[in-house]
């Protein structure tokens, strides 16, 4: 599936707890960011999640959403990063 330049990858890693997905989904929705795809798992109490999100209707500067996600991650005890799919793909090319 080819991703448009208006999509990004959101990665989450940390200790599992109640409310991680809800907190992130609510924050993204608040700024007009739609979740196109999501995969999450818990490995021995470690929560991991990757989302493909649509930035087409975003109502916040991209650097600001990164800061908001970092602040949310700090409050949830997880690490959250966001990268454009183009940058993500370039960084993970073999």
Instruction: Give yes or no for residue 60 having a pLDDT over 90.
Output: no
pLDDT tens-place string over residues 44-55:
999 999 999 999
Assigned architecture for domain 7-91: 2-Layer Sandwich (3.30)
Instruction: Give yes or no for residue 88 having a pLDDT over 60.
Output: no
Crossing angle (nearest 10°) for helices 62-76 and 20-30: 160
Is the pTM here over 0.75, yes or no? yes
pLDDT tens-place string over residues 2-39:
456 789 999 999 999 999 999 999 999 999 999 999 99
Distance CA(38)–CA(6), nearest Å, equals 17
Distance CA(70)–CA(22), nearest Å, equals 15
Strands (E), the chain: 7-15, 34-43, 46-54, 78-84
């Amino acid at each position: 599936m080819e991703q448009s330049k208006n999509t990004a990858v959101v990665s989450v890693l940390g200790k599992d707890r109640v409310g991680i997905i809800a907190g992130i989904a609510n924050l993204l929705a608040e700024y007009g960011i739609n979740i196109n795809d999501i995969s999450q798992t818990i490995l021995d109490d470690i929560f991991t999640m990757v989302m493909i999100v649509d930035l087409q209707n975003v109502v916040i500067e991209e650097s600001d959403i990164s800061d908001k996600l970092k602040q949310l991650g700090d409050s949830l005890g997880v690490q959250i990063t966001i990268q454009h799919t183009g940058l993500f793909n370039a960084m993970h090319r073999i």
